Amino acid sequence: MWSNFFVQQDEEGRIGVAGAGQGGGLGGMKGGRGQRRIHKISDSQEGKIKLAFFVSIIGVTLTVLGVGTEFWVELAQPKNFSGNQTCQMAHYGLWKGCIRTLWVADIDPERTSCGPAELPGETNCTYFKFFTSGENAVIFKKTTTRNLNLAAAIVALLSLTMMVMGSICIVMSLSKGVRFFLKPAAFCFILSGVLILLSILIFHQSVLALLSSDHTVPLHHELSWSVASVGSAGVTLIFGGFLFVILSLPFSPWQKCLPHKNSAT
C-alpha cells in the first residue's frame, strides 16, 4: 500500500513540474510575441532614416527661406512711364512689400519694364496691415485682396507647423529606436509639402486679383525666387515623406521585387 502511495505522489509531482514547465513556456512565448511587436531600428535602417530626414530638412530650410523673404512677386512699371531718369517697381511676399526706385540708365536697353530688383536704388519697405488693422495695401493704385493674402499666409504657417511635428516624430523615432513614429512623420511631411504648394496657388490668385483691381497703371508681373524656393521645398518635402513611408514598412520593397526579377531572368 505504501509503495503505491509513493508512486502516485511521484507521478503527481512530475505532472506538476510538467505543467509548470508548460506554463513557463507559454509565458515565454507570450513574452516573445510581445517583444516581436516592437520593431527595433537596426543600424542600417537608422542610417536610411537619417538620410531621409536630411532630405526633409532641406525642404524645411527652403520653406523658411522663401516664407521669410519678400520676393514672391515683382511688379514693374514701364521703363519710361514717369518720363524721367527713374522708374519704380515693387516686390512683396506674405508679410511685407517694398517699392524700389531705379535709374533707367542701369536697366538693360532691351528690357521694356523697370527692374530687376537686384539693381541699385532706393527702397521703401512696409509691413502689410492685414494682420493688425485689417487694411488692404495699395500698390501703384492697385488694391490687394485681404482674404486671399491672409489665406496664403495662414496656409504657409500651417505647413511650417506640420514640418515641426514631423521633425519631432523623427527625433523621437531615432531616440527610442522604434519605427512607430515614421508613419506620422511621413504624413506630416507630405501634408506640409501639399500645403506650401497650395499657398503658392492662393498667392498667385491674390496677385491676379491685385492686377485686375485697377487698369490705369500698366504693370508687368513675374513670380520671383522666393516662390521658386518654396516650390522646390514642397516637392522635396513630399519626396521625403514618401521615403519615410517606405522605411516604415515591415518589409523591404526591394527584397520583394528582386526575387521576382531573378526568377524571371
Residue 17 has pLDDT above 80, yes or no: no
Higher model confidence: residue 96 or residue 214? 96
**Mean pLDDT value across the chain:** 82
Residue 132: the pLDDT is 83
CA distance 198 to 233: 12
- Residue among 217, 232, 243 at smallest CA distance from 89: 217
- Which distant-in-sequence residues (6+ apart) come within 8 Å of 34 by Cβ? none
Torsion angles phi and psi, residue 76, rounded to 5: -125, 130
pLDDT value for 27: 45
Best CA proximity match to 87, nearest among 73, 106, 101: 101
Q: 115 near 60, Cβ under 8 Å?
A: no
Q: Is 76 exposed, middle or buried (0-12, 13-18, 19+ CB in 10 A)?
A: buried
pTM for this prediction: 0.78
* Residues 62, 232 contacting (CB under 8 angstroms): yes
8 A C-beta contact, residue 152 and residue 206: yes
Express each pLDDT in 235-264 by its tens digit. Answer: 999 999 999 999 888 766 555 555 554 445
Q: Which set of grid coordinates corresponds to residue 229?
A: 524656393
pLDDT of 218 reads 86
Contact 97, 91 (CB under 8 A): yes
Q: Where residue 7 falls among pLDDT bands split at 50, 70, 90?
A: very low
Residue 33 has pLDDT above 80, yes or no: no
* Domains and their CATH numbers in the chain: 43-250 (1.20.140.150)
Q: Is the pLDDT of residue 29 over 50?
A: no
11 versus 81: which is more confidently predicted?
81
**pLDDT tens profile 157-199:** 999 999 999 999 999 988 888 888 899 999 999 999 999 999 9
CA distance 35 to 32: 5
Report whether pLDDT(38) > 80.
no
